[in-house]
Amino acid sequence: MRMGELISLSERRAFLRRGISLPAQIERDGQAPLRCQLIDVSRHGACLSAPDIALPNVFVLKVPDASRHACEVLWRDGRMLGVRFAEVDQLLARTAKATAILKRSCARARQLNP
């Protein structure tokens, strides 16, 4: 990547990101928290370096000040994740809808393959 490409990419960002490189944790339902590294953060999201395992598209990020933030994954590149801080009510509604769709699909599959 050339320097001009780096500058143009940073100019397209709507919100300033602050590099912080701090430890954090990814909390998942019913599972042990995973350690991760908070690379940078903006008002609306963050970049994380996380273990190279399957992570859900939504999770709670616990940051060093002990606050928790509902996150939605926007992009993945190896161990790097870009997340958006989600509005909890909207996130719960999307998760509930996705769960309902999955349950219906499983029920149909069981009907077809008793």
Tens digits of residue pLDDT in 54-82: 888 999 999 888 888 899 999 999 999 99
Q: CB pairs under 8 A, 24+ apart, for 27-30?
A: 27/59, 27/60, 27/61, 27/62, 27/68, 28/55, 28/56, 28/59, 28/60
Per domain, the residue ranges of the chain are 14-87
Specify the fold of 14-87: Thrombin, subunit H (2.40.10)
Q: Is the pTM of this model over 0.75?
A: no
Q: Which of 30-34, 91-95, 99-103 has the lowest mean pLDDT?
A: 91-95
Where does the pLDDT of residue 84 fall: very low under 50, low under 70, confident under 90, or very high at 90 and above? very high
* The pLDDT value given to residue 79: 92
- pLDDT at position 95, please? 56
User: DSSP E strands: which ranges in 16-105?
Assistant: 18-27, 34-41, 45-49, 58-62, 68-77, 80-85
pLDDT value of position 81 = 93
DSSP classification of residue 43: S
Q: Distance between terminal CA atoms of the chain?
A: 54
